[in-house]
Chains A and B, each alone.
Chain A
């Protein structure tokens, strides 16, 4: 068993039995579900909207090269420096290069999962730069030196008291259990940082090919401040973020808000098309856009799972996933958790090391059903399992299924095995759940159903 898998199993059993975690997640996601359902019902047709959103992203991927070229040309025409990065190392070097050239000291960041993906903060801190996360949830997990728990709600796993303790310890603030007061503590701490920062780094929710703009969705205003005050702005985004037209946002913005947070539309939806223009009173003097591949083109090459690149990172599949809700976001050990993380991580980081995530699924299909862009998530978990087995066959499993197939195809053999099972099952109690139990994986926490004393055929014969 690999170390990654061992850690996953140990964490999963620990968190699944943690009642405090369970009640926090259920409260948070219970509220989300109520609001999401209300917002979905406000659409004239949520289902048709999903279909169109899926087709729009399909269309975007289908000519991704052309869309990217158009996106980049438009941006460059307005004075933006566009960089292409094949992997995380290149993206980090590009960003560090910009920071160095500007002789910057302090960097303010708004939430970007791509930055988590390439471990950008660690790289910047190692070079001695002060990096401040400005999204409240990200700010909290940064103070805890933790990864975000959820792609939309990074600090969902913490209570207000834990956050109060943290702020007291790290910021010297007075203890309080009022979420509003806690938010204001962070607001005050971060205000100074926006003004002092030389560099603002953001992610992007969409890249508009038609007009050469990035679209950022947020509730707090931290991304807007990050894009307004520092002299240099950098946006890091995956190449799959493309939407063909600006008007597509009329559909995607309300869908992202509804699926992501149960809101009709998020508080701020902003489009950025370049550095400060002549006649504008403020905005960055320099704007850099970094386009990141980092094995997205490998996923693109898998036509069967290409639709996983349609993901708009709303987090809806995490919220409905019984596995995510039980094992929690950190257990995955990945940047992207939940069903979408289980589908794409094997492509981004290696199939054999991460195939266990595709097995950690009840295949209930709740993720596929909730996905606003109709990614075939639970089937892709099966595709990953199939691909992992084909690449690295498990001979024990293969033999077991061959024997099972032979027995089930022969009435005589089936009868022999059935009789044996009836005789042997009473003896199972001697080893049940212990190290010598062949069915231990099941019987550790569950009962094995008894073999019926009489088959249906036998009962039928008796009663005839």
Chain B
């Protein structure tokens, strides 16, 4: 027998004795997990227990901005997608970037083209040491989450796994229409967009990298980016 069969066999043997449902009383309700039971619909109803989110789009944007301020994310709204290029140029000048890494997305390509800097394009593979030398990684994303101030991105939408974590500054280019209200909506979006063939990596990024491992004192930029900038364009 293989270990797989051994382990599955032990599990099946163990599960012959049912365990009482949590919060219930022993001997009652052992096997009444019906379609309407809370656990089965937890994902749908999580909205009722999670931190509240305003119904209006303006309210959601304001909440995202407030979370960003708490998290020390630099969140800026821009009038339109044409403004990405000038916003990036300003950042590059202000922070003295010498080299930037990015991927070929609709937004990123146009915005980084205007930078008067060498650009490391990652799409067809790249040298890790070169990316390590870059001052910033510029990516797109799949969604922004108002409830938590998170950016959702995947290896397909944002140039792989390292671009958004290796350079010391991560810049996200997003459209206002990508703002979703809460975590259930973000997972629904990932499911709708990718369930036919998921990317190998999907992540929720909430603020710049941080640690509290030394005396529980907050320090930004533990291993990932010290800075997270989100540029969000209205249509």
Contact = CB atoms under 8 A, between A and B. Distances in A.
A106 interface: no
Nearest to A78: B200
A155 B213 contact: yes
Nearest to B3: A84
Nearest to A301: B14
Given A250-B184, A374-B22, A268 B204 contact: yes
12 contacts: A55-B22, A84-B3, A136-B211, A136-B222, A195-B129, A224-B161, A228-B166, A248-B42, A268-B205, A269-B206, A271-B201, A281-B124
Interface stretch (B47-55, B74-82, B111-119): B47-55
Contacts of B177: none
A140 B166 contact: no
B235 interface: no
A267 B23 contact: no
Contacts of B184: 247, 250
Interface string A56-78: 10110111110011001000001
Given A49-B46, A78-B200, A160-B217, 16 more contacts: A44-B50, A49-B50, A52-B49, A59-B40, A136-B213, A187-B223, A219-B210, A220-B211, A261-B212, A264-B51, A267-B208, A268-B203, A270-B201, A277-B200, A280-B201, A301-B13
Interface in B212-226: 212-217, 219, 221-225
Given A251-B43, A265-B150, A303 B7 contact: no
Closest 7 CB pairs of A and B: A221-B224, A247-B43, A228-B161, A220-B222, A55-B39, A301-B14, A137-B213
Interface SS, B side: loop
A97 interface: no
A272 B200 contact: yes
Contacts of A156: 216
Interface in A240-273: 245-251, 253-254, 261, 264-273
Nearest to B70: A264
Contacts of B69: none
Given A48-B49, A228-B162, A283 B21 contact: no
A190 interface: yes
A219 B14 CA distance: 36
A282 B187 contact: no
Interface in A139-177: 140, 153-156, 158-160, 163
A43 B162 contact: no
Contacts of B11: 64-65, 68, 239, 297, 300
A377 B33 CA distance: 24
Nearest to B150: A265
A32 B216 contact: yes
Given A52-B49, A140-B213, A283-B160, A191 B132 contact: yes
A53 B125 CA distance: 41
A254 B12 contact: no
Contacts of B44: 247
B50 A43 contact: yes
A236 interface: no
B62 interface: no
Given A58-B22, A246-B187, A374-B22, A291 B200 contact: no
Interface stretch (A178-186, A422-430, A445-453): A178-186
A43 B163 CA distance: 33
A280 B23 CA distance: 45
Contact of B8 (A68, A191, A247, A250): A68
A248 B122 contact: no
A274 B200 contact: yes
B43 A266 contact: no
Nearest to A82: B4
A229 B131 CA distance: 11
A42 interface: yes
A183 B19 contact: no
Interface residues of B, number: 90
A15 B206 CA distance: 37
Contacts of A54: 22-23
A344 B219 CA distance: 34
A220 B225 CA distance: 9
B38 interface: yes
B90 interface: no
Residue among B129, B155, B156, B160 with the highest chain A CB neighbour number at 10 A: B155
Contacts of A51: 22-23, 38
A267 B191 CA distance: 22
A336 to B, nearest CB: 19
A64 B163 CA distance: 36
Contacts of A380: none
A135 interface: yes
B187 A247 contact: yes
A168 to B, nearest CB: 15
A227 interface: yes
A280 B43 contact: no
A78 B194 CA distance: 14
B190 A44 contact: no
Contact of B214 (A78, A155, A224, A247): A155
A46 interface: yes
B228 to A, nearest CB: 10
Contacts of A283: 155, 160-161, 200-201
A297 B86 CA distance: 59
A134 B178 CA distance: 33
B59 interface: no
Interface in A19-40: 24, 27-28, 31-32
A52 B7 contact: no
B206 A266 contact: yes
A98 interface: no
B42 A55 contact: yes
A45 B23 contact: no
A264 B155 CA distance: 25
Contact of B223 (A31, A220, A261, A373): A220
A38 B52 CA distance: 14
A293 B6 CA distance: 10
A307 interface: yes
Interface string A269-310: 111111111011111000000010100011011011011001
